[in-house]
Chains A and B, each alone.
Chain A
Amino acid sequence: MAGKSGREISITSNKSALSRVLSWEGALVLIFIAVNILGVILSENYTAANVLRQMPRYLAEIFILFPMGYILILADIDISVGSIVCLSATMACFAGNAGLPFPVVILVCLLVGLICGAINGAILAKFTELPSMIVTLATQIIFRGIAEMSMGSGGTVSYTNSADLIPLTTMVGPFPISFFGVVIAAVIFIVVLSKTTFGRKLYAIGSNKTAAYYAGIKVEKIRFIVFSLAGLMSGFCALVLLSVLFSANTTTGQGFEMEVIAMAVFGGIATTGGKGNLVGGFIAAFIIVCLRVALGLINMNTQLILVIIGLMLIIAVLMPGISQRIKTMKKMAKQS
């Protein structure tokens, strides 16, 4: 299925051990190892304990990576997730401050996310002619606007009963508890994408929406589900973020959508749809996180870190084109 890119999709399962290592995912693992070696060389403070302790803020983002991968595979995009995170976190703070028990607060947080996602999904399923970029741009502004209005002029709301959030910050050995949440989510999302008909339908829609429709796939229903899922996972993200921030403000979650899309694209998921898988995205996420931690430890200028990540992204998306060109040149040379 649509394997013309240099970044192969692993749907085709007849791969030798060598080709597995040399696939894009294999390359990502090597980069991951390289980044960690780099970290150890750069700073003696780059230890497992320190990296894992700095991780929760980034782990929050990775929760959104999985549904975002689905959305990109559908050839759609959702740039409202950052605002959904902001709104969910805000509402959770209000719920907690109103004295509701913590399980209810969690429910509020997830439900707000789910509703926001469902709104995106419903609009897109109902008005199929609208591009998802524009719809989610609008809801991005709306969701953050609602959050800002409810926060009032101060623009910030803190979770006063912070004892509630302490369980979310516990460490199991050196691992923050949210790390396990991310791993569980990863397993579920990866298995659903690669082993179920639902996953195959996503690829089918992303490759050719019209063909998928005529093949009997309920395209709009699936888009609705996937966008709702993105909302729900934004709720999870908000929850983890709350355990780091203990508060929400008008800039909470700002730019998350782009960081998550960057992780997905670096992981080999094409924004044109139908290509890539979440394993790559998952590894790519940790590459970016480890790189940021490592460069942060040598107090590199934070803007420069962003420049480096941007460069990596450009190289990653250029790679299939370059290798394709080299391949055709080779073929031409052979023919002459």
Chain B
Amino acid sequence: MKKRIVALLMCTAMVTSMIVGCGSGSSDSSSDASSSDDSAATTEDSGEAKDISDCTFAIVPKSAGNPFNEAEAKGFQEAIEAAGAECIVSYPEQATADAQITVLQSLISQGVDSISVAANDENALQATLQQAMDAGIKVSCFDSKTNADSRQVFVNQADTELIGQTLMDAVYDITGGEGQWAILSATSQAANQNAWIEAMQNVMEGDEKYANLELVDIVYGDDEPQPSTEQTQALLQNYPDLKLICAPTTVGINAAAKVLQDQNSDVKITGLGMPSEMEAYVGEDNVCPYFYLWNPIDLGELAAYTAMALVSGDITGAAGDTFDAGDMENSPYTVVDASDGGTEIILGEPFEFNPDNIAEWADVF
């Protein structure tokens, strides 16, 4: 009998510790009391113009612990809070669609006004996001899109074709227009990665100029350093004549650059990367002559302005809508038709980071 009483005591202790845990945990999110008040307001006056400062905006990035995602979330949060509104940053526990659904369902229960999501899977979020839209929540995507039915508008970091063209030009330039090259991607189902790779392949097939370039393999490093490193090593081993690896992912390019530098390899790397992580590898005689990216802080900021424009009723997500995005470079932005049948807003051209400007940008992000 005693041991059962002990068991009960332990349970009480457990519950207490849970409450303590919650107390410390809730500090990293915004207060929830006000958000639920908002939800009541939302249902009452949906359709009318709303005061942004009474609304709650949620952002669901792809995963926690990725500096690029964190920079996006930072840009989003700053823009929302500058407008006096509530911001919730909800990272999923894993970089999977399953984990994002859990987080999204919770946000629907909280009755937020807007959800901005960087989808880990193009189709898997459809049922959940439609549920959100049915509940009167404005749904937009950024960074990595969902299918057209699950969103009102997509904030695209750069035109897919433009990225494909830019990266292919880089591949052509660095290899001198001939030889073997390979692609190191993130996960095999990442929608944005696949779209860029497809765009690159289209560019390559569409022009005789690229005929001497041979794409030998596309490997997937799952956007994690260890698998990306292993995949790079495997590429070097399997293709001794390899001239270049193109990694359109920030984690991949960083891991690959480290492998190439460690092995003193002649193989070059380019792609999309974070300046702060790539600073050590960029240079004329170094493994990475130059690489590209857009500013993730700007992307988050534009996602925030888009979400606010949707909630205030300035735009509906239809092509042709325009809205002001504060002091952003290309403001005002226009909603245009996307290739998948939905609509999108394009941030701008990819930005080239080279030995001349890397030091300056490495401090920024």
- Does any Cβ of A come within 8 Å of B19's Cβ? yes
A34 in contact with B11 given A22-B5, A249-B189 (CB within 8 Å): yes
- B92 proximal to A (CB < 8 A): yes
Q: Which of B29, B39, B187 is in CB contact (< 8 Å) with A300?
A: B29
- Is B66 interfacial (CB-CB < 8 Å)? no
Which of A6, A24, A35, A249 touches B97 (beta carbons < 8 Å)? A249
Stretch at the interface among A36-44, A121-129, A222-230: A36-44
Q: Are A299 and B97 in contact (CB under 8 A)?
A: no
In the complex, the chain B residue whose C-beta lies closest to that of A248 is B124
- Which residues in chain B, 1-53, are within 8 Å of chain A measured between CB atoms? 1-8, 10-11, 13-15, 17-19, 21-22, 25-26, 28-30, 32-33, 36, 39
- The secondary-structure label for the interface of chain A is helix
Q: Tell me the complex Cα distance, A300–B93, Å.
A: 11
What residues on A are CB-neighbors of B175 within 8 Å?
A: none
A322 to B8, CA, bound (A): 13
Interface status of B127 (Cβ within 8 A of chain A): yes
Cβ of A244 within 8 Å of any chain B Cβ, yes or no, is yes
Tell me if B316 is interfacial: C-beta within 8 Å of chain A: no
Interface residue from A27, A154, A169 paired with B189 (Cβ < 8 Å): A154
Of B29, B93, B123, which contacts A298 at CB under 8 A? B29
CA distance A30 to B218 in the complex (A): 53
Q: How far is the CA of A297 from the CA of B22 in the complex (A)?
A: 11
B92 to A: closest C-beta gap in Å? 6
What is the distance, in angstroms, from A152's C-beta to the closest C-beta of chain B?
9
CB A34 to nearest CB in B, in angstroms, measures 5
Contacts A156-B124, A299-B26; A22 near B4 (Cβ below 8 A): yes
Interface string of B125-136 (1 = CB under 8 A from A): 011100000000
Q: Which residues of B contact A54 (CB under 8 A)?
A: 102, 105-106, 109
Docked CA distance A327–B6 (Å): 10
B8 close to A30 (CB less than 8 A): yes
Please count how many residues in chain A sit with their CB below 8 Å of the partner chain's CB atoms.
66
Bound together, the chains give a CA A319 to CA B131 distance in angstroms of 42
- Which residues from chain A contact B124 at a C-beta distance below 8 Å? 156, 158, 245-247, 249
Q: Are B6 and A326 in contact (CB under 8 A)?
A: yes
A300-B22, A302-B64 as given contacts; A53 in contact with B29, CB under 8 Å: no
Question: Is the CB of A148 closer than 8 A to any CB of chain B?
Answer: yes
Complex interface residues of chain A between 13 and 36 (CB less than 8 A to chain B): 19, 22-24, 27, 30-31, 34-35
Residue of B11, B32, B93, B109 touching A302 (CB-CB under 8 A): B93
Query: Is B103 part of the contact surface with A, judged by Cβ < 8 Å?
Result: yes
B26 touches A323 (CB 8 A): no
Indicate if the CB atoms of B2 and A251 lie closer than 8 Å: no
Within 8 A of B (CB), among A32-84: 34-35, 38, 42-45, 50, 53-54, 57
Alpha-carbon gap, A299 to B92, bound state (A): 10
B165 within 8 A of A: no
Please report the C-alpha to C-alpha distance between residue A28 and residue B90 in the assembled complex, in whole angstroms. 30
Partner of B98, one of A6, A44, A57, A305: A57
Q: Which residues of A contact B259 (CB under 8 A)?
A: none
Closest residue on chain A to residue B147 by CB atoms: A158
Chain B residue with the shortest CB-CB distance to A51 = B109
A311 within 8 A of B: yes
Q: Is the CB of A303 within 8 A of B64?
A: yes
Q: How many angstroms between the C-alpha atoms of A43 and B109 in the bound complex?
A: 10
Closest residue of A by beta carbon distance from B101? A57
CB of B261 closer than 8 Å to a CB of A? no
Q: Give the complex CA separation of A31 and B91 in angstroms.
A: 27
Is B105 a contact of A156 with CB atoms below 8 Å? no
B194 within 8 A of A: yes
- Bound: A300/B102 CA distance, A: 13
- Decide if A285 is an interface residue (CB 8 Å cutoff): no
Q: Shortest beta-carbon distance, B80 to chain A, in Å?
A: 14
Which of B33, B105, B147 touches A53 (beta carbons < 8 Å)? B105
Query: In whole Å, how far is B321's beta carbon from the nearest beta carbon of chain A?
Result: 28
Complex Cα distance A252/B100, Å? 12
Q: Are A298 and B32 in contact, CB atoms less than 8 angstroms apart?
A: yes
Question: In the assembled complex, which residues on chain A have CB atoms less than 8 Å from the CB atom of B109?
Answer: 45, 50, 53-54, 293, 297
Bound: A252/B127 CA distance, A: 16
A250 CA to B64 CA, complexed, in Å:
20
Neighbour of A247 across the interface among B21, B92, B94, B123, CB < 8 A:
B123
CA distance A35 to B16 in the complex (A): 11
Question: Does chain B have a CB within 8 A of A315?
Answer: yes
- Residue in A closest to B3 when the chains form the complex, CB atoms: A323
Asked whether A246 lies within 8 Å of B123 as measured between CB atoms, the reply is: yes
B98→A311 contact, CB < 8 A: no
| B178 part of interface (Cβ distance < 8 Å) | no
User: 7 nearest interchain CB pairs?
Assistant: A323-B3, A155-B189, A155-B188, A299-B29, A158-B123, A302-B93, A296-B106
Q: 30 interchain pairs (CB within 8 A)?
A: A6-B4, A38-B15, A38-B18, A50-B109, A53-B108, A54-B102, A57-B102, A57-B105, A156-B123, A169-B127, A243-B127, A244-B127, A244-B128, A247-B124, A249-B121, A296-B102, A296-B103, A297-B109, A297-B110, A298-B22, A298-B25, A298-B29, A299-B30, A299-B88, A302-B91, A302-B99, A303-B93, A304-B25, A323-B4, A327-B2
Give the A-binding residues of B (Cβ under 8 A): 1-8, 10-11, 13-15, 17-19, 21-22, 25-26, 28-30, 32-33, 36, 39, 64, 88, 90-94, 96-99, 101-103, 105-106, 108-111, 120-124, 126-128, 147, 187-189, 194, 218
State the A residues within 8 Å of B (CB): 6, 19, 22-24, 27, 30-31, 34-35, 38, 42-45, 50, 53-54, 57, 148, 151, 153-156, 158, 162, 169, 243-247, 249-252, 254-255, 291-293, 295-306, 308, 311-312, 315, 319-320, 322-324, 326-327, 330
